[in-house]
Structure 1
Amino acid sequence: MLPTTDKMIMLGNYYKIHNEQVSTKILNATFFYLLLSIVWNSAFLLFRLPFSRANLLLLLSCLGAWFIVVGGKRLLRLSANISMHLVLLFMILVVCCLYFGSGYREAWGFFFLIPLISGFYGDRFVLILYSLLGLLMMIFVGHQYPIVSGIFDSIDLSNRILLYLIIATFSHLLLKQLNQLYEAQVTTIMDSADASIRQVVKTFIIAVEAKDAYTFGHSERVSKYAIELARNLPEYWDKKKLQCLYLSGLLHDIGKINIPEQVLTKSGALTKEEYDLIKSHPVVGGRMVEKLPMLGSLKPGVLYHHEKWDGTGYPTGIKGEEIPLDARILAIADVFDAVTSRRSYREAISPEEAFKIIEQGSGTHFDPYLVDKLREIKAKWIEVYNEASNEIKEFEQLTEFL
């Protein structure tokens, strides 16, 4: 699974897009309503029909405010969050103008629009804030400026508040449903992305290891060794970094896909040209993963896993902490698995002998801090080695049978 932080980032991006779309649609709907109301009531006034008590001046004022809000959004290029608050404050202004200018005895009902519109944004804090603000405005104007004097009393106030709270509750249900919908969409997208990444990585591994039967399972084992070591480091308490290291281990040798099989499986000593070709695989691998946005974060581990602590490694010759931590961990895991696995040009050695080689390379080949940490988790690496040994034996038996 991809990290929770990535999911939150994606959800945040969805909410920004959603908020901008909601703001635009609310403004469009408001413009249509105001324009229709102005034309509708103007016709009644023009033909002197007794079907309107609306205040055209207030409706025209709202339309003017609409142009100011829309123009301000476009000229100032306001963020989705600021636009949301601007639109909601504008709607409160419109509702107050409708209360005073509509002429309806039930004009206080326009305040129900505030919690309903606030709920469309899918933000609980925004819903509560503007619902309370709308409620206070409804109580204030209803008490201080009743449309019909002498009718408004405490019972009316109680009934209006109750109905307002009912509408606000339904708005909250709308908000919850909206959040669940986006949560489900993001989960589906991220699960799909996670499956796609795994499939791409598996395809790469198969392509590389198919060229050399001796390296069967090498990438998987390197990743497992690296993860066991990283779990002991505070830098990898973030699951996102641990996942990145794991995938880097799986793809650290992807650049070998560019190397001919006769070079990879050669049983004798390599020529200088062949060795130079082998040394090119980190650069090729780094270029390959950076071409895919979903794998770009793996480049440091893939590109620098053959660098050495003292600067004598390749391909760049960087040293010490200039080498990314992922690459320093993979360097140790890569060597350990390489020497404990049988290759075309030599036999495997035991894990204890491999640990001695790593100890001897502390401060020259390997990061001494990581070598110290390795001492604490040797047993974990032995477990990985034993499990892998059984898998290798099964694979060798299968290939011999075939």
Structure 2
Amino acid sequence: MTVRRSLAALAGCTALVVAVTGTSSASATGGGSPDVLPPRDGWASLDGGTTGGAGADAAHTYTVTTWEELRAALADSGDAPRIIKVKGTLNATAEGCGAFEADGYDFDRYLADYDPAVWGRDTPVSGAQEDLRAASAARQGAAIKVKVPGDTTIVGVGKDAGIVGGSLQIQGVDNVVVRNLTLESPLDCFPQWDPTDGATGAWNSEYDSMVVYGSTHVWVDHNTFTDGEHPDSSLPSYYGEVYQQHDGELDVVRGADLVTASWNVFADHDKTLMIGNSDSAGGTDRGRLRVTLHHNVFRDIVERAPRVRFGQVDAYNNHYVVPVGGYQYSFGIGQESQLVAQKNAFTLPAGVSAAKILKKWKEAPVTADANYVNGKRVDLIAVHNAEMPEETLTSGAGWTPGLRTRVDDPRTLPGMLARHAGAGKRR
């Protein structure tokens, strides 16, 4: 029996206090209180629940104040539960992009070599500068990506704990809790130019703030995901296209399962939250990708809040504050998705129709009822189908969520979530 299973009976508590003493290689502290997901709180509460590092001993309880200390704490040997408390802001790219550049890489040379007027738009880029760009990108990836072991809690201390430019990789493990962090999106120093992407080409970037890849029992709670000091509006353009240096904020992909994301803020981003990353991944994703999203704020998000392929996703009691310009959609209905979207609140600016909230990518049923737009109850499917008959949606996802601890009146969500959602606002 794992520690998580043995602690399942304690999941109704909001914290489990562990007395610890001594130190370890990444500045361990003398105390820990890892939070435990309450019973019935979304999909992550199923099959034994999610306890993270509850039960960690002194040797596996850490306080980290730098990115290097976090990497050391995560890499510390052994399979014992661990609690990692983040104090202050950890900067994964403090030395700047130049620290990752491969010898001989020259961005000005890159721009000259692959200018569409020279290279054209029919062939993917290749050659010396593209090879050096890829080598530079590999250096950045190795520096900013960290793997999170199973039976781990990462929790921010106080109201100003966070990570800038890092990417938490929750890959192939079970039982992880991440709470109370401000996660500023990684800025890809070396986006790739793809002249064949669309009619005019595009810059493509990597690195999400957090990726749940093939993992189970993951609770993401009271965090703030943001582009911080580098919003898309601040990015330059080359070849007439935005030099896109951001990927997603949170991705749940490749057979991941039993995930609850609650009381987070997702802000100021384009492609925000993807659940299932490929239409061809049915072999790994079908019957999995069960995700609950509740009491989150999606503010000034362009699209993917979330986009769903496969899986059963329960999105309820979230508040969507739609930007004035550039909005594409909130819920993306994708391959074999079974999305339930209930009792959410939407704040739409003048000129943006509620018909855009849902976006049909593939034929799949969806449940969307009791949602409110600007304080009024709106049938999102009916509005969408009336205004967009070319992509008619079918009502009824075919299942009824049962793992909910509280369901609030959608009209109370804007004020409630402004006070309580995000890092530093834990209830």
TM interval, short-chain normalised: under 0.3
TM-score (norm 1): 0.25
Could you say which structure has the higher helix fraction?
Answer: 1
- Which is higher, the Rg of structure 1 or of structure 2? 1
